[in-house]
Structure 1
């Protein structure tokens, strides 16, 4: 592992593509070992070889960089949407994307209230008890869970049948509600963001104390749907597309 990492660092850290001889000289490896490692790294898309036999970073690094470039671009595009939601509701506003079957929150504007939800960016939250997660489930952005679901609060949905029924309601209304499902006393709502191809690529939402949000679910849900549709239209007008659908 250490020798392979040394080879990767040698190639990826270089300003230009690197020859086999340069790899051997810079790593101090024998020619046979360097050849074996380079072949394995190329097979696994960590390195790529030019037609002239020189090595550079492979598709794995390109995909990694592209993914985070897309997230950064989406976060920037959604900035005004999150700001408007925060100003209109006073609650924390959130942007989340699907990643590896999970929900990753990538941007947030904090609540203007003293009593509000915390910062959820990069916090791992079970999708079945998250409004953002349920939106991504409902519109096939992440695969549905199997088996019994973890109970996190009083109203957490713990069976697949209950979750499927909720997802059908989300598709009909256009927004999701998580009412005392992640934590007692915490409510959240979310709506889907569609990319250039029409598929859902993200979700936008708000969260705050149940005592403030519960009486106003219908109005807040409609607000989220309007804002999400506006952002989706903006993304779909961009050429070349800002994001692909997956």
Structure 2
């Protein structure tokens, strides 16, 4: 790509972003002529960019042809609301699990093809796990992620996988081989797969039979390695309790 074409592409992105920002910040739908005038764009250019933004579901037209934020904004808002309600519902189970194990407790949800950790209860021990909320973690190296893979909440990757630690799973085929065992046990464990010395154990959270999240604990391998099955049973019990809470209060479930 030539410098001139690269510059033109960047200019188009900037113009499209400006249009989205103006529509989102507006108190109501905005007509194309008003957007063209406020941005200084030719009407044909504005229409072309608006059409592209509509196809990407960033903007949407009403019956009069005026522009409003598109369905992607609604989807994002609903998922954020779902996460907030899920976190509130998970509070008792997370606190109980923290009291039973003394370890760091995490709640993860499937987003954008990976696991996003949305809540944490810190370990009672001085030597505990770090704060994982908002941290990007390779899902295939995480007990939370393996649960979501095992129950179809995340698509299983193919080919080579990143290996942040010597014990990491390095291929989609190897990962897929582990998933039936996770389903049979009802929980997943990772030992030294994300980083040496760290063990994670997680179990599925369901709403109307579908797995929508994973509840888990993490802590030093030296403290957890000889009690993984019993800890897995504890985690699964609290994940089932959270699932029952969500079933009894459907408005608290994720979509």
Q: Summarize the alignment of residues 126-165 of structure 1 with structure 2, pairs less than 5 Å apart.
A: 126-160=138-172, 162-165=174-177
Q: Which has the higher helix share?
A: 2
Query: Cα offset for 1:92?
Result: 0.4
- Alignment correspondent of 1:82: 94
Asked if 1 retains the 8 angstrom alpha-carbon contact of 2:79 and 2:254, the reply is no
Distance in 2, Cα, partners of 1:151 & 1:239 = 39
- Alignment correspondent of 1:223: 234
- Residue among 20, 41, 45 paired with 2:53: 41
Query: Cα offset for 1:34?
Result: 2.3
- Alignment correspondent of 1:70: 82
Task: Tell me which moved more, 199-208 or 143-152.
Answer: 143-152
Asked if 1 retains the 8 angstrom alpha-carbon contact of 2:205 and 2:211, the reply is yes
- State the 4+ residue runs in structure 1 displaced beyond 4 angstroms: 159-162
Closer/same/farther in 2, CA of residues 240 and 81 from structure 1, 3 Å limit? closer
- Alignment correspondent of 1:61: 73
Query: Cα offset for 1:154?
Result: 4.6
Closer/same/farther in 2, CA of residues 60 and 219 from structure 1, 3 Å limit? same
Distance in 1, Cα, partners of 2:48 & 2:77 = 26
Closer/same/farther in 2, CA of residues 150 and 39 from structure 1, 3 Å limit? closer
TM-score normalized with structure 1 length: 0.90
Residue 177 of structure 1 aligns to a residue in which SS?
strand
Distance in 1, Cα, partners of 2:53 & 2:139 = 35
Distance in 2, Cα, partners of 1:45 & 1:58 = 5
Task: Tell me which moved more, 69-78 or 169-178.
Answer: 69-78
- Alignment correspondent of 1:121: 133
- Alignment correspondent of 1:204: 215
Distance in 2, Cα, partners of 1:110 & 1:240 = 27
Task: Kindly indicate whether residue 220 of structure 2 is the aligned counterpart of residue 243 of structure 1.
Answer: no
Query: Cα offset for 1:223?
Result: 1.0
1:43-62, Cα deviation, whole Å (9 max, x unpaired): 32221111122211111221
TM-score normalized with structure 2 length: 0.87
1:38-84, Cα deviation, whole Å (9 max, x unpaired): 22222322211111222111112211222222222212221222111
Residue 98 of structure 1 aligns to a residue in which SS?
strand
Closer/same/farther in 2, CA of residues 9 and 86 from structure 1, 3 Å limit? same
- Alignment correspondent of 2:185: 173
Query: Cα offset for 1:139?
Result: 0.8
Asked if 2 retains the 8 angstrom alpha-carbon contact of 1:10 and 1:26, the reply is no
